[in-house]
Structure 1
Amino acid sequence: MSHGAAMETAMRLYLLRLGTIRGIEAPVPGFLIRLHDGTNVLVDTGYPADGDGFVEVSAEDDVVARLAGLGLTPADIHVVICTHLDPDHAGNHDRFPGAEFVVQRAHLEVARSGEIERLEEARKHWDLPGLRYRQVEGDLRLLPGIELIESGGHVPGHQSVLVRLLETGAVLLAGDAIPMSIAADPEERPMLPFDLDEAATRASTRKLAAVAEREDALVIYGHDPMQWAGLSVSPAYYA
């Protein structure tokens, strides 16, 4: 039983493959959390159709197609949790105009400043006047059974997501704070090409490792092809 057992909630977690990174055949993940009260929460929206091509998105991997396979449309999504605004994570925000987007304040500020060049690639999809951003600061309980964990370093204000399920227990969606199993050790992990701050990246890895141990959590890494092959992927789900 996890540390957060009293907070475990009746809901379903779907793992959505939203594309494949060329060259390393790594998944571009999104996640759908369906709460028992009918609230639908999407974590990340995938790579844009007009991107520069480092991600291959098949017709079936398109985020709207993945949701359609579960009987949902973009209008059915109430909340979008933004782990961060890299193009493979935020390339389809504009297709969810009715949702509330939840992002760390520090991340949205640096993204809008233009200081990080790679965040500009999908800016026309996420920086639109009609999109509603709820800016949060640090760790917090977002909804019953869903917690946000600030985990910057890859970029400032990156956030991971802890989901507590009745049957599965805790699941930690590490995002790009821990993109692969080889990066799970905070002291020995390699710094990957898009990690901007080594000290902060190691601190966040250490923080997430402590959460995973405390919660006895299944950790789902950001882009790990070997792990993904062994996971239950949509239309299957974790409950």
Structure 2
Amino acid sequence: MNQNAVKRLYLMQVGSMPEYQIPIVCALVQTEDGKNILIDSGLPEIIPEEASDFENGQDVLEQLASIGLTPDDIDTVISTHYDIDHAGRHAAFTKAQYVVQRVHHEDAASNPRFAALRPQWDQPMERIRLVDGDTELLPGLTLIETSGHVPGHQSVLVRLPTTGPVLLTIDAVPFAAGFTRDAPDDGHNPDPEATHVSTFKLLDLVEREQISLVIFGHDQAQWAGLNTLPQFYD
């Protein structure tokens, strides 16, 4: 087995939008050689007034601590995008390299949508790895560029030794009901055409790779039935 092969995947619900019963989530990938790779970091510790519909639960730092990890143990943070419910604790991981799509990072610099969270995601460039399009981060872990929800959004494909391939759609497809070729535009994405293209791209990937576990970004019904930390998928 390749030394860098993925060993397990932890899923965490770190908060919610109570009004809509939507979970706010993160994930952790661990490799055979002991690397810890965080996918998103959840909500900020203090939620700004304009985002008062979000509510923190057990945050990512607490959940990592429950399996013996500190922020300094995180080697990489895959930043799917800089929305407040996905990048809220980025600044806590001071030893990590951040991996983000170049298009997204460059857009965020002047996009007011991401301004309130800038102290979290605007880290020194020597610690940010900008990628362009689909990228194999390491054997068993691939970033899938899925713009639409925001420019340069990325989903994540994790290949596990027992479970097989697992697709984390994140906000490219937040709910299972939208994972069809004829899903109507929900009005929540600035670029509906790109959203459709990304949805088709992920549907094609699932068919091609025969992916049996697709985890949607904010689907409460699905999340209620998933293994969540301290349980994991291997």
Task: Say how many residue pairs are matched.
Answer: 228
- 1:104-143 to structure 2, matched below 5 A, reads 104-113=101-110, 115=111, 117-129=112-124, 132-143=127-138
Rate the CA distance shift 1:185–1:77 in 2: closer, same or farther, 3 A. Answer: same
State which of 10, 16, 20 in structure 2 corresponds to 1:14. 10
1:229 paired to 2:229: no
**Aligned Cα root-mean-square deviation (Å):** 1.6
Q: TM-score, normalised by structure 1?
A: 0.91
Do the aligned residues in 2 keep the contact of 1:87 with 1:118 (CA within 8 Å)? no
SS in 1 for 2:206: helix
- 1:1-239 to structure 2, matched below 5 A, reads 9-52=5-48, 53-58=52-57, 61-113=58-110, 115=111, 117-129=112-124, 132-193=127-188, 195-217=189-211, 218-239=213-234
Equivalent residue number for residue 3 of structure 1:
none
Runs of 4+ in 1 over 6 A off after TM superposition: none
SS in 2 for 1:149: strand
Q: TM-score, normalised by structure 2?
A: 0.93
Q: Deviations over 1:118-144 (max 9, x none)?
A: 212211211133771100000011011
Do the aligned residues in 1 keep the contact of 2:6 with 2:139 (CA within 8 Å)? no
Amino acid at match of 2:24: V
Q: Deviations over 1:138-179 (max 9, x none)?
A: 001101100010000000000000000111000000000000
Unmatched runs of 5 consecutive residues or more in structure 1: 1-5
Identity in percent: 46
Do the aligned residues in 2 keep the contact of 1:29 with 1:223 (CA within 8 Å)? yes
* C-alpha displacement of 1:182: 1.5
Instruction: Provide the rounded CA distance (Å) in 2 between the counterparts of 1:10 and 1:175.
Output: 19
Q: Mean Cα displacement is larger for which, 199-208 or 128-137?
A: 128-137
Amino acid at match of 1:111: A
Do the aligned residues in 1 keep the contact of 2:7 with 2:160 (CA within 8 Å)? yes
Amino acid at match of 2:192: E
Instruction: Provide the rounded CA distance (Å) in 2 between the counterparts of 1:129 and 1:138.
Output: 22
Q: Mean Cα displacement is larger for which, 155-164 or 10-19?
A: 10-19
Amino acid at match of 1:121: A
Q: Deviations over 1:87-142 (max 9, x none)?
A: 100011110011000000000000012x2x22122112111337711000000110
SS in 2 for 1:87: coil
